[in-house]
């Protein structure tokens, strides 16, 4: 069996009233209305650190999402 590490790189600090203003995290919000670019950069670096840790720990693969950089999965997927 092979074990892979999967990471969404979620945005971890949505405003507490997010649900009152948006019906969905996928289509409704404009990304920069709810996300702090500095925090996103911090989360990006944390994600890379976690992936390096997983590789060093012996994971067979590293998987990322393909969610088009929305507020619940901000990992950018190049085309």
DSSP string, 53-71: HHHHTT-SEEEE--S-SBT
Residue 43 belongs to a domain:
yes
Residue 53 in any domain: the answer is yes
The overall pTM is greater than 0.75: no
The 10s digit of each residue's pLDDT in 57-77 is 999 998 887 666 677 777 666
Residues spanned by the domain of 78: 1-11+24-79
Q: What is the number of structural domains in the chain?
A: 1
Residue 46: in which H helix or E strand, if any? helix 37-56
pLDDT in tens, 34-57: 888 888 889 889 989 999 999 999
């Amino acid at each position: 069996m092979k074990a892979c590490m999967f990471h969404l790189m979620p945005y971890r600090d949505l405003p507490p009233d997010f649900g009152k203003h948006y019906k969905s995290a996928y289509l409704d919000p404009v990304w920069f209305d709810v996300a702090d670019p500095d925090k996103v950069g911090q989360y990006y670096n944390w994600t890379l650190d976690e992936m390096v840790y997983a590789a060093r720990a012996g994971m067979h693969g590293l998987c990322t999402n393909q969610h088009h950089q929305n507020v619940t999965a901000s990992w950018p997927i190049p085309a």
